[in-house]
Amino acid sequence: MAEESQELALSRKRRKSQQVDTQGPIIRRMSRLEPRHSVQYGGANSRRMSYASRSSISGMSWSGLGGMKPVTRMANTYRMAPRPEEKFNASTAQRIMSCTLQSYLEGERYDKNLSISLSKTLADVIKERMKDQGFSQRYKFVCLVTMGEKKDQGMAVCSRCVWNTDTDNYASSSFTKGDLFAVATLYALYFE
């Protein structure tokens, strides 16, 4: 009999703790069955996709980022310009770009589908070859490769940029043979 009264008292206590008192403060936290309204990202069902776990953001693990490399941070050098031997040299860059265009496009004919992938490949190859030239590691390179078919047409390309004329520069090279033309432009921007 005493055991039954204890179980009855315990079950009443459980039921009472599960009930929500609308008049007074909520004693027990209830889980939400309905979707929450997101103030930051909009609608009731919109949720931000997460590609990294909390530990990967802090630098512990990079497995959840799908092949992305961690950003390497450079130590402060307190120099506002590269050393003279590390400064970007436009004539060296132009020579390398000219040789790259020549070696990749020498026997090619214009093909629309091939030109799309070839221009991407050329831009990547030129950027990688510039990184191997001994310029300062603080240079950021932007490479544009334009390819087209020669059919007695004209083409004008213009670019504008705000940069430091003491450290930043560009180089350009072109290739023409048969019905194919290609123009490669490389911008070297010093990151302070």
Would the pLDDT of 99 be above 50? yes
Enter the DSSP assignment of 65. Answer: G
pLDDT in tens, 17-76: 555 445 555 555 555 555 555 444 455 554 554 444 444 444 444 444 555 677 777 677
| CATH architecture for segment(s) 84-190 | 2-Layer Sandwich (3.30)
User: Would the pTM of this model clear 0.85, i.e. be above it?
Assistant: no
Residue 103: CB atoms within 10 Å: 9
Kindly state the tokens that stand for 118: 């070839």
Domain ranges within the chain, ordered by starting residue: 2-65, 84-190
Sorted by sequence, the CB contacts under 8 Å of residue 135 that are 6+ apart come out as 82, 86, 87, 88, 89, 188
Would the pLDDT of 148 be above 80? yes
pLDDT of 157? 82
